[in-house]
Structure 1
Amino acid sequence: MATVILVRHGRSTANVSGTLAGRMPDVHLDEVGTEQAARVGDRIAGVPLAGLVTSPLERCRETAQAIGRAHPARPRARTDRGLLECDYGDWQGRPLKELTKEKLWKSVQGQPSRVGFPGGETLPEMQARTVAAVRRRDAELEAEHGPDAVWVAVSHGDPLKSVLADALGMHLDLFQRLHVDPGSVSVVHYAATHPYVLAMNSHEGDLSWLAPKRPRGRRRAPREAEVGGGAGPQAPSARS
């Protein structure tokens, strides 16, 4: 199937203030976040994109717009509610320093699979929603553009960590071991057998190695794990 570039939105005003923004409206990128979004756009500019999809919240849409502006094809971002931030319910809008004192905080850290936010959704519900949205969109773009299709999904920290945990075959209780920074890039290829995580929490580097290099019309062999690790993609200077 296709390959998805998972982008966490750039740093937001809520990130700086230590507020759990959740789905609050009018949370925008700050100056650093705007620079991070522009840098992500530059990194992706050399990759032919089959799609650009984003959470509808402002900080993600602003990040997606920066990616679209930097790309030669000027792709328009489409919103998908499946990529929304977790519904933190009564926790939304509260300072993190207060939330760390809540009894539920320990479970959030150690047993996420048993956590339901008061007035919100459970973490398993968040993971099921986000993974379903990514896999559904991936299958649609593969059907439309072929198995070499590469696309971008812009979302939030916890949803993206849950997608990566699913791709890695990790239990949700372990997903807090993953880290996804603002403005970071992770890459997952969904093959017929299982997903392959190609990059995670990446901050620097040209991503044009994701561009397909096989002759037009030639079918790609099914991706399988290479014993010994394989040769990897060509270095940028070695490409034709």
Structure 2
Amino acid sequence: MATVLLVRHGRTTANASGLLAGRAEGVSLDQIGREQAALTADRLAAVPVVGVVSSPLERCQQTAQFILDRQTGASRTPIDMNLDACLTECDYGQWQGRTLSDLATEDLWSTVQSQPSAVTFPGGESMAAMQARSVAAVRRHDASFESIHGPGAVWVAVSHGDIIKSILADALGMHLDLFQRINVGPASVSIVSYGTSRPTVYATNTDAGDLSWLTNAASSEDAPVGGGAGHTAPSAR
């Protein structure tokens, strides 16, 4: 089974100022965000990824480019960045461009926190539709990469916080109303493998740690009873 590394974009100018950027153009990584993306690219350089799929928004493309440049720097066959609008940010409608502190005074805010499945942003998208299209996109790309490169394929999806949280909630078998329990920080890496019987979530919201074990990850879909022995990085063998 293939493995997807879900990478959130690095910190942006909007994140730093507390704005809900949404799908606004011209929102780019700030200096801290570029440093975060570079560190994530360094972590992923230990893994020969077969593809990078990104949200079309600038901040995600910038983060994806760091990853691609580091893969090329590891003397591997160059790979292209593929853009998929189904991985783009939620359409927050009239909420876009407003500060989070202002939005927290809206009646809808409490529903976003406690019952996101019931939320449709004014003039925008429902959170249920956001989850449906992003999960479908990741599963579609995952099946494609596995059919081309085999069950050991590892690929990267670069997207946004709420998108990745909704994908992780689906993989964990959680109702969308529980997805606010998941945290996904800037430039973090979460790891999911989709099998024929169920997804396996190996990690969520990581911003440090060795990933080279992914080059020799076990292909069995059965969960080890008792937790198993874990992964051994190739460099430690």
What is the TM-score of this pair, normalised by structure 1? 0.95
Instruction: Summarize the alignment of residues 1-240 of structure 1 with structure 2, pairs less than 5 Å apart.
Output: 1-71=1-71, 72=74, 73=76, 74-212=78-216, 220=219, 222-239=220-237
Gapped runs of 5+ residues in structure 1?
215-219
Gapped runs of 5+ residues in structure 2?
none
Task: Say what the alpha-carbon RMSD is for the aligned residues.
Answer: 1.1
Give the CA deviation at 1:192: 0.9
Q: The residue matched to 1:182 in structure 2 has which SS?
A: coil
State the alpha-carbon separation in 1 of the partners of residues 89 and 109 from structure 2: 18
State the alpha-carbon separation in 1 of the partners of residues 29 and 79 from structure 2: 21
Query: What do the CA deviations read for 1:48-107 (whole angstroms, capped 9, x no partner)?
Result: 111111000000000000001111234221111111000000000111111000000000
Give the CA deviation at 1:213: 6.2
State the alpha-carbon separation in 2 of the partners of residues 75 and 212 from structure 1: 21
2:45 aligned partner, one-letter code:
A
2:37 aligned partner, one-letter code:
A
State the alpha-carbon separation in 1 of the partners of residues 67 and 152 from structure 2: 20
Give the CA deviation at 1:34: 0.1
2:14 aligned partner, one-letter code:
A
Aligned length in residues: 233
Query: What do the CA deviations read for 1:87-144 (whole angstroms, capped 9, x no partner)?
Result: 0000001111110000000000000000000110100000001000000000000010
State the alpha-carbon separation in 2 of the partners of residues 226 and 201 from structure 1: 23
Give the CA deviation at 1:238: 2.5
1:34 aligned partner, one-letter code:
R
What is the TM-score of this pair, normalised by structure 2? 0.96
Query: What do the CA deviations read for 1:179-211 (whole angstroms, capped 9, x no partner)?
Result: 000010000010111000001000101211111
Runs of 4+ aligned structure 1 residues displaced above 4 Å come to none
